[in-house]
Amino acid sequence: MKIICIGRNYADHAKELNNPIPAAPLIFMKPSSALLVNQKPLYYPEFTEELHYEAEVVLKIDRNGRHVQEEFAHKYYSQIALGIDFTARDIQRRCKAKGHPWEIAKGFDGSAALGSFVPLDEVRGENGIEFFLHKNGEEVQRGRTRDLLFPFDRLIVEVSRYFKLHMGDLIFTGTPAGVGPVQIGDELEGFAIRRGPAREAIPLLRCAIK
Ligand code: ZN
């Protein structure tokens, strides 16, 4: 199982970190040992002093494929979850400054928190998927996948040019603006809006920092 992640996929988030808007999706990976499921807490890693949350919509890959064409890309996923791409921002900054790989800042144990999956049809409306993140009960991030620089189908095409997609692989599709630090004791909760006029918020993800 692979965890594929997309960086800078919302213009407002690229801007908040003073990064240019990419011409192609920025792709990186986390190892399977990064996965944090079943609402388990994340233990604040000792090597960072700036642990950040990044709430993201996560696609689960339904079938195997490589070199997928755009017209078929939608057949490769049918469920989404919310996830948190935990990032040691201080380490990432150091790695980037030196031109080094940033796995230690992004792929450490527990850095890929993943909530429960829902069928895409349940949550995809005219704005794509609308989702938000609470930190200790207050909203800190809100996004809608209509604003993705590279939408889901385009991600499937681009990723599968380099990496064979396997059933069960995950794609973290990028984070909107509002990323920020967490401290020990914080509680994060992710919600998606159910499709339809009631705009019911479905709780999909919970993660405490310990
Ligand atoms: Zn991210």
CB 22 within 8 A of CB 189: no
pTM of the predicted protein model: 0.97
Digit-coded pLDDT (tens) for 85-138: 999 999 999 999 999 999 999 999 999 999 999 999 999 999 999 999 999 999
Digit-coded pLDDT (tens) for 141-186: 999 999 999 999 999 999 999 999 999 999 999 999 999 999 999 9
Domain 3-208 has CATH 3.90.850.10: yes
Strands (DSSP E) found in the chain: 3-7, 26-30, 35-36, 51-53, 55-61, 77-85, 87-88, 112-114, 118-119, 124-125, 128-135, 138-144, 170-172, 180-181, 187-193, 201-208
Query: Separation of 56 CA from ligand 1 center, angstroms?
Result: 7
Query: Separation of 172 CA from ligand 1 center, angstroms?
Result: 7
38-51: average pLDDT:
98
What are the beta bridge partners of residue 152? none
Query: Separation of 8 CA from ligand 1 center, angstroms?
Result: 7
Q: Alpha helix (H) ranges present in 33-141?
A: 89-98, 103-106, 120-123
Query: Separation of 10 CA from ligand 1 center, angstroms?
Result: 10
Residue 103's identity, in one-letter code, is E
Query: Separation of 81 CA from ligand 1 center, angstroms?
Result: 14
75-80: average pLDDT:
98
- pLDDT at site 9: 95
Query: Separation of 112 CA from ligand 1 center, angstroms?
Result: 10
6-28: average pLDDT:
90
Query: Separation of 57 CA from ligand 1 center, angstroms?
Result: 10
- pLDDT at site 131: 98
Query: Separation of 22 CA from ligand 1 center, angstroms?
Result: 14
Extents of the domains making up the chain: 3-208
